[in-house]
Amino acid sequence: MAPWVRIDGDELRVEDARIIWSPAVCASADGIAFWLRASGTRSVMHLAGWAPGNAATDLDGTEVRIENPGPDAGVDGRFLTSARVRFGRVTSERAVVSIDGEVEALEADDESRTSFSADLICSVAPVAERDHCIGCGGPLDRFAETRDQFVAAFRISQRILPVLCPPCTGSVERPCFCPTCGAAFTDDAVSTHGEEGRTGYSARCPQGHLFSGALPG
């Protein structure tokens, strides 16, 4: 059976589903934060969570309950209010996921909830490593910081690398080097697009790594 999301009696076709993950500490416990997105002819579902473990394969056979998904979680254009995510047959590249949950009503003054369910086959990948400054190509490891943030109701700590090293911050007009491998972008490999009123970029290096985003500052 093809992957699907079912809500309000309608079965929405899912054409692509993916999970990206990153190591993250929560309440002094080692674990991984994960972000799941399923899409079809329209954006279907997106949610995030945290689970104990060291890699995505540790999700195999586990269940994660998300009681406070936060404002960034939604299904078919509605805010998600709770979800139970069950992982089965998880490898480093693929996962079978079943989800049951509830979403808010469409009208702001309507406090009713609607149930939804989903059966998905997801691609799995870690968050892209970015170890090189996109301005000069130099290493960023010594500029790493540990930051706290909320993923759903989980307060996690992660090691974060900047996109630009301090000497390049504020002086770079467009991406010059791949943040993953440090290879130089050719001029024809960098495209410009709008991003919430700011200039954003997409660039693919000769090794095939993709950068997409706005420059800080």
Whether residue 11 is predicted with pLDDT greater than 90 in this model: the reply is no
Can you tell me the mean pLDDT for 54-67? 94
Q: What is the pLDDT of residues 145-181, one digit of tens each?
A: 999 999 988 999 998 899 999 999 989 989 999 999 9
The pLDDT value given to residue 194: 61
The pLDDT value given to residue 197: 46
**Other C-beta atoms within 10 Å of 154: how many?**
20
Which one, of 103, 110, 93, 100, lies nearest residue 59 by Cα?
93
Whether residue 216 is predicted with pLDDT greater than 90 in this model: the reply is no
Which one, of 90, 73, 95, 91, lies nearest residue 82 by Cα?
73
Q: Phi and psi at residue 169, in whole multiples of 5°?
A: -60, 125
**Poorest-confidence range of 49-63, 145-159, 199-213?**
199-213
Whether residue 139 is predicted with pLDDT greater than 50 in this model: the reply is yes
The pLDDT value given to residue 42: 67
* Amino acid letter, 37: R
The pLDDT value given to residue 198: 56
pTM confidence score: 0.78
pLDDT band at 95 (very low <50, low <70, confident <90, very high): very high
Are the beta carbons of 100 and 45 closer than 8 angstroms?
Answer: no
SS3 letters across the chain: CCCEEEECCEEEECCEEEEEEEEEEECCEEEEEEEEEEECCCEEEEEEEEEECCCHHHHCCCEEEECCCCCCCEECCEEEEEEEEEEECCCCCEEEEEEEEEEECCCCCCCCEEEEEEEEEEEEEECCCCCECCCCCCECHHHCEEEEEEECCEEEEEEECCCCCCCCCCCCCCCCECCCCCCECCHHHEEEEEECCEEEEEEECCCCCEEEEECCC
The pLDDT value given to residue 8: 81
